[in-house]
C-alpha cells in the first residue's frame, strides 16, 4: 500500500451523488448556523478555562477534561438528546467517552460514526472545541431528520495523551457494523496570508492556509470523493485538499495520517475520514495558551460544519 496514493479532486464525478441526493444533503447542511458554532466554541472554552486540569507527564501542561464533559453533556441535553457515558478505566487512566445515538429508520444496525475529542490542553479553541461545536450542529440538524442508517456521535476523552479514549472505544466496539467514521480534529483555523501553510513530510500543499484537509484510508476513498463533491457544491464552496493513505503505522512517513481518533478505526480496517486544518502546520497557537476563540475563522468553521452535516446525512441516507 502506498503512503500517499492520490490527491483527491474537489469536483469529483457527479454520479457519486445524484442531483436529488446532492440537493437534499445541501438542504440539511443549510441548517448549520455560524452564531451557534461561535457560541458553542465559547461554551467549551469557558468550561475548560474554569477547570484547573491535571498536569500530565511528560507534557508538563494542564489537560482539561471534566468541566468540558459537564458542559458538553448539558449541551446535548438541551437538544433533548440522551448521552451515554462509556467509562473505561485501566493503566492509570479513567476515560469518559460520550455517545449520542440517532437511530436509523430502516437499517439501524449500520452505523455512521462522527467524532471529535473534547479533552484539551489549556482552553483548546481550535483543538478541539471547533470539532465539538460541529458535533453539536450535527446533532441539532440530524436529530430531527430521518436517515436509513444510525448516526452515532462520539466525543472522545484522552485524545491528547495518546488516543487512549478512542483506542479503548474501538476495541470495545470491534463487532459493530461501522460503515464509515468521520473524525474532526482542529477544523476552525484558516488564513489567507501567503506563507501561512506548511506541509508535513509526504505532502505537497498550497502555501495559503485557507483549505481543509481530508484524509481517507483506502476503503473510504469513495466516501472521500462524496465529501469532495459536496465541498464544491456548498453555497460558499470549501477548498479541500485530500489524500488516501496507509491504514497502519508501520510505513515511514505515515505518522501524520494517524494523529487523531480515527487512527484505531483505520488500524481495524474500518472506512474512515479525517478532517483537519493541519494544526501546527498552520496554527502557531496550537497547544498553547493562545488557542482562544477570537483566533478562529467562523465562516470557515461554518463551511466545515456544512460539509460534515451534508456528508453524514447523505451517507446515512443513501441506498446499499
Which tens digit of pLDDT belongs to each residue from 192-235?
999 999 998 777 899 999 999 999 998 999 999 999 999 999 99
- Cell numbers at 10, concatenated: 474537489
Alpha-carbon distances of 240 from 20, 58, 129, 165, rounded to whole Å? 23, 35, 21, 28
Number of domains in the chain: 1
Q: What does the radius of gyration of the chain's CA atoms come to, in whole angstroms?
A: 18
CA atoms within 13 Å, Cβ hemisphere of 113 = 27
Exposed e or buried b per residue across 16-37, where buried means at least 16 C-beta atoms within 10 angstroms of its C-beta: bbeeebbebbbebbebbeeebb
**Cell 492509570 found at:** 92
Q: Backbone dihedral region of 195: left (phi > 0), alpha (psi from -120 to 50 degrees) or beta?
A: left
Q: State the pairing for strand pair 240-245/149-156.
A: unpaired
**Cell 469532495 found at:** 228
**What sign does the dihedral 240-241-245-250 (CA atoms) show?**
negative
Q: State the pairing for strand pair 212-217/240-245.
A: parallel
CA distance 46 to 210: 27
**pTM recorded for the entire structure:** 0.93
CATH number of the domain where residue 199 is located: 3.40.630.10
Q: Helices H, strands E: what count in the chain?
A: 8, 12
Q: Phi and psi (nearest 5°) for 31?
A: -80, -10
pLDDT tens across the length of the chain (320 residues): 223 334 444 444 436 899 999 999 999 999 999 999 999 999 999 999 999 999 888 888 899 999 999 999 999 999 999 999 998 887 778 999 999 999 999 999 999 999 999 999 999 999 999 999 999 999 999 999 999 999 999 999 998 898 899 999 999 999 999 999 999 999 999 999 999 999 987 778 999 999 999 999 989 999 999 999 999 999 999 999 998 876 555 454 555 667 788 888 998 899 999 999 999 999 999 999 999 999 999 999 999 999 999 999 999 998 55
| Cβ within 8 Å of residue 31, ≥6 positions away | 137, 140, 141, 309
CA distance 301 to 102: 23
pLDDT of residue 58: 86
pLDDT of residue 127: 94
Cα 72 to chain centroid, rounded: 15
What's the CA dihedral at 244, 250, 256, 259 to 10 degrees?
A: 110
**Cα three-residue angle 91-96-99, rounded to 5 degrees:** 140
> What's the domain range around 294?
4-317
pLDDT of residue 203: 79
pLDDT of residue 14: 38
Spatial CA neighbour of 120 closest among 159, 76, 155, 91: 159
Amino acid at each position: 500500500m502506498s503512503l500517499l496514493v492520490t490527491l483527491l479532486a474537489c469536483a469529483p464525478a457527479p454520479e457519486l451523488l445524484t442531483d436529488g441526493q446532492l440537493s437534499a444533503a445541501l438542504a440539511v447542511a443549510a441548517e448549520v448556523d455560524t452564531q451557534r458554532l461561535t457560541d458553542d466554541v465559547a461554551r467549551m472554552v469557558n468550561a475548560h478555562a474554569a477547570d484547573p486540569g491535571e498536569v500530565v507527564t511528560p507534557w508538563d501542561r494542564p489537560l482539561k477534561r471534566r468541566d468540558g464533559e459537564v458542559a458538553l453533556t448539558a449541551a446535548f441535553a438541551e437538544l433533548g438528546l440522551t448521552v451515554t457515558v462509556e467509562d473505561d478505566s485501566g493503566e492509570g487512566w479513567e476515560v469518559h467517552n460520550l455517545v449520542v445515538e440517532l437511530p436509523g429508520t430502516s437499517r439501524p444496525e449500520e452505523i455512521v460514526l462522527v467524532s471529535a475529542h473534547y479533552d484539551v490542553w489549556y482552553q483548546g479553541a481550535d483543538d478541539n472545541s471547533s470539532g465539538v461545536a460541529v458535533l453539536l450542529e450535527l446533532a441539532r440538524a440530524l436529530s430531527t431528520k430521518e436517515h436509513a442508517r444510525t448516526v452515532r456521535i462520539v466525543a472522545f476523552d484522552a485524545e491528547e495523551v495518546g488516543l487512549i479514549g478512542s483506542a479503548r472505544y474501538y476495541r470495545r466496539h470491534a463487532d459493530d457494523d461501522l460503515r464509515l467514521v468521520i473524525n474532526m480534529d482542529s477544523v476552525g483555523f484558516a488564513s489567507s496570508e501567503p506563507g501561512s501553510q506548511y506541509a508535513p513530510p509526504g505532502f505537497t500543499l498550497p502555501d495559503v492556509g485557507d483549505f481543509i484537509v481530508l484524509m481517507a484510508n483506502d476503503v473510504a476513498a469513495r466516501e472521500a470523493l462524496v465529501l469532495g463533491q459536496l465541498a464544491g457544491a456548498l453555497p460558499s464552496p470549501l477548498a479541500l485538499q485530500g489524500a488516501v493513505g496507509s491504514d497502519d503505522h508501520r510505513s515511514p512517513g505515515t505518522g501524520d495520517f494517524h494523529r487523531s481518533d480515527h487512527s484505531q478505526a483505520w488500524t481495524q480496517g474500518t472506512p474512515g475520514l479525517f478532517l483537519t486544518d493541519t494544526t501546527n502546520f498552520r496554527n502557531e497557537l496550537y497547544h498553547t495558551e493562545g488557542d482562544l476563540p477570537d483566533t478562529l475563522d467562523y465562516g470557515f468553521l461554518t463551511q466545515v460544519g456544512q460539509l460534515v452535516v451534508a456528508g453524514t446525512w447523505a451517507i446515512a441516507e443513501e441506498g446499499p
